[in-house]
Amino acid sequence: MAVSHDIDRAGLDSRQQRRRAVIGSSVGTVIEWYDFTLYGLAAALVFAPLFFGGSDLAGTLGAFATFAVGFLARPFGGLLLAHYGDRIGRKGTLLVTLLIMGGATTLIGVLPTYESIGLWAPLLLIVLRIFQGAGAGAEFAGAMTMASESAGTGRRAFTAGFPGASVYVGMALATSTFAILTATMSSEAFLAWGWRLPFLASVVIVGIALYFRFRVKETAAFEAAEESGESAGRAPVVEAVRGHWRFLLAGMALFVFALPWVYIVQTFSVSYTTGTLNVDPTHALVGLLTAMLLTIPATLAAGALADRIGRKPLLMGAAIFGVVFAYPMFMLYQTENSVLVALGLILGLAVIQGATIGVSAAMIAEIFPTRMRWSGIALSREIPAAVAGGTAPMVATWLVSVGGGTPWLVAGYLVVLSLIGVVGIWYLPETLVKATTVEDGDAAPATAVEEHSA
pLDDT digits 0-9 by tens, 333-358: 999 999 999 999 999 999 999 999 88
User: Residue 107 has what pLDDT?
Assistant: 92
Q: What is the Cα 163 distance to its own chain's centre? A: 10
Q: What string of pLDDT tens digits covers the 454 residues of the chain?
A: 445 545 444 444 467 777 777 888 888 888 888 887 888 778 777 787 888 766 556 666 777 777 778 778 888 888 888 888 888 888 888 888 888 888 898 999 999 988 888 888 888 888 898 998 888 888 888 888 888 887 766 788 888 888 888 888 888 888 788 878 888 888 888 888 888 999 998 888 888 888 888 887 777 777 777 777 665 567 788 888 888 889 999 999 999 999 999 889 987 888 889 888 888 888 888 898 899 899 999 999 999 999 999 999 999 999 999 999 999 999 999 999 999 999 999 999 999 999 998 898 888 888 888 888 888 888 898 889 888 887 888 899 899 989 888 999 999 999 999 999 999 999 999 988 654 443 343 333 233 343 333 3
Cα dist. 438→16, 154, 186 in Å?
22, 9, 59
User: Residue 372 has what pLDDT?
Assistant: 85
- Burial (CB < 10 A; 0-12, 13-18, 19+), residue 42, is buried
Q: What backbone torsions phi and psi does residue 277 show, to the nearest 5 degrees?
A: -95, -175
User: Residue 338 has what pLDDT?
Assistant: 92
User: Residue 156 has what pLDDT?
Assistant: 83
**From CA 35, how far away is CA 203, in angstroms rounded?**
10
pTM of this prediction? 0.79
Candidates 310, 309, 278; CA nearest to 425 is: 310
* Residues in Cβ contact with 1 at an 8 Å cutoff, skipping those fewer than 6 apart: 243, 244, 246, 247, 450
**From CA 293, how far away is CA 336, in angstroms rounded?**
22
pLDDT digits 0-9 by tens, 87-134: 888 888 888 888 888 889 899 999 998 888 888 888 888 889 899 888
**From CA 354, how far away is CA 302, in angstroms rounded?**
7
User: Residue 413 has what pLDDT?
Assistant: 96
User: Residue 442 has what pLDDT?
Assistant: 35
b/e burial code for range 190-211 (CB count within 10 A of at least 16 → b): beeebbbebbebbeebbeebbe
User: Residue 439 has what pLDDT?
Assistant: 37
**From CA 423, how far away is CA 439, in angstroms rounded?**
32
Instruction: Provide the Cα torsion 260, 265, 268, 270; round to 10°.
Output: -170
Cα dist. 390→98, 198, 257, 435 in Å?
20, 21, 13, 33
Cα dist. 111→42, 64, 193, 386 in Å?
13, 18, 11, 25
Candidates 385, 387, 409; CA nearest to 272 is: 409
